């Protein structure tokens, strides 16, 4: 039987903590399951976590890469060929339960959606020559940035944490927030305002990026006029968005997230979702793993197994 004729008990889209958790439980229940993951390795956002993870009950991990290695080990051990990496889901027909990928078509009796979050991109038209001077993450290159003037765009926790981190690495930091009030935790906003290496401008919109050939400054505007900010790098910390564009128009959504009930069921029969992309939800590893597990239970029940 060819791949496109085979009908799996469950096709899982996304190999992060939610997808792998669901797959392991389906496998333990002897269900015919496959995980489709577009990256070369499973683990989702885990390898992007530069700091220790100490809010996940499975153990203490010095960083996200360590947690990913453990997840990958158990996934490969039990799922083997049922874990398809470099497999990019290109279109999804949730009514027919058909999924089109660069590695062929997949059909399932049920589907579990677990495509996670991605960083929100800066909507400023960055000139080509400065493309390399706009970063979305600083943790990995922090040592290369030491002492350099940096502009940070954003007003949430991530922007403020990054400002404090780089200011502590001798960088003169300027934080540019679009709104007048920071969304970030008040305690860290306080520390930011008190830090001698950090300058803050609120209510600002970036107008130009200047320099040549490398970035030297940006010009922003607020109600008082133009402000020139010396910087060699811009770090955009604008938050995260759910990867739901492929299927959101086929389901009931809430603020771009997939609406689910307490069994992780979506508005379509036999379609379940979990992890960061669902509402109600919480973008944490434990929540992703738990909702993957809950979805597996619902899938078993749907397919006629006892809970």
Ligand X SMILES: Cc1cc2nc3c(=O)[nH]c(=O)nc-3n(C[C@H](O)[C@H](O)[C@H](O)COP(=O)(O)OP(=O)(O)OC[C@H]3O[C@@H](n4cnc5c(N)ncnc54)[C@H](O)[C@@H]3O)c2cc1C
The reply on whether position 285 binds ligand X by CB under 6 A is yes
End-to-end Cα separation, the chain, in angstroms: 31
Positions in 235-254 near ligand X (CB under 6 A): 243, 246
Burial classification of residue 229, based on how many CB atoms lie within 10 Å of its CB (0-12 exposed, 13-18 middle, 19 or more buried) = buried
Using the rule CB under 6 A, give the single segment among 39-47, 195-203, 252-260, 264-272 that binds ligand X.
Answer: 39-47
The two beta strands, 150-153 and 173-176, are parallel
Site size toward ligand X (CB under 6 A) is: 34
Residues 117-146, mask of contacts with ligand X (x by CB under 6 A): x-----------------------------
Which residues make beta-bridge pairs with 135?
235
Q: How far is the CB of 211 from ligand X (least distance, A)?
A: 29
The reply on whether position 56 binds ligand X by CB under 6 A is yes
| Nearest partner of 153 among 136, 170, 171, 131, judged by Cα | 136
The reply on whether position 295 binds ligand X by CB under 6 A is no
Nearer to ligand X, 42 or 209 (CB): 42
Positions in 177-216 near ligand X (CB under 6 A): none
Residue from the set 11, 18, 151, 160 that interacts with ligand X by CB under 6 A: 18
The reply on whether position 114 binds ligand X by CB under 6 A is yes
Using alpha carbons, list the distances in angstroms from residue 30 to 72, 77, 80, 142, 226: 20, 15, 14, 46, 64
Distance (Å, whole) CA 89 – CA 235: 30
Residue from the set 153, 275, 294, 298 that interacts with ligand X by CB under 6 A: 275
| Nearest partner of 119 among 103, 134, 97, 100, judged by Cα | 134
The reply on whether position 16 binds ligand X by CB under 6 A is yes
Cβ atoms of residues 154 and 161 within 8 Å? no
Nearer to ligand X, 245 or 269 (CB): 245
């Amino acid at each position: 039987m060819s791949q496109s004729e085979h009908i799996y008990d469950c096709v899982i889209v996304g190999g992060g903590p939610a997808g792998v958790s669901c797959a392991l439980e389906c496998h333990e229940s002897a269900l015919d399951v496959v995980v489709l993951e577009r990256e070369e390795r499973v683990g989702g956002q885990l390898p992007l976590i530069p700091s220790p993870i100490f809010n996940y009950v499975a153990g203490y991990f010095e960083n996200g890469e360590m947690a990913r290695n453990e997840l990958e080990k158990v996934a490969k051990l039990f799922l083997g060929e049922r874990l398809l990496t470099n497999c990019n889901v290109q279109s999804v027909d949730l009514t027919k339960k058909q999924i089109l990928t660069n590695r062929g078509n997949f059909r399932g009796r049920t589907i579990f959606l677990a495509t996670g979050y991605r960083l929100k991109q800066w909507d400023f038209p960055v000139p080509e020559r400065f493309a390399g001077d706009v970063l979305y993450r600083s943790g990995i290159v922090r040592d290369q940035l030491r002492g350099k003037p940096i502009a940070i765009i954003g007003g949430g926790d991530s922007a403020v944490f990054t400002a404090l981190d780089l200011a502590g690495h001798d960088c003169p930091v300027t934080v540019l927030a679009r709104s007048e009030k920071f969304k970030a935790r008040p305690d860290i906003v306080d520390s930011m305002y008190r830090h001698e290496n950090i300058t803050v401008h609120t209510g600002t919109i970036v107008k130009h990026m200047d320099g040549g050939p490398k970035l030297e400054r940006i010009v922003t505007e607020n109600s008082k006029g133009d402000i020139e900010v010396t910087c060699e790098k811009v770090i955009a910390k604008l938050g995260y968005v759910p990867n739901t564009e492929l299927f959101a128009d086929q389901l009931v959504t809430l603020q771009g997230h997939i609406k689910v009930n307490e069994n992780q069921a979506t508005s379509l029969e036999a379609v379940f979702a979990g992890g960061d992309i669902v509402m109600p939800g919480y973008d944490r590893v434990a929540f992703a793993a738990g909702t993957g597990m809950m979805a597996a239970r619902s899938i078993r029940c749907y397919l006629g197994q006892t809970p």
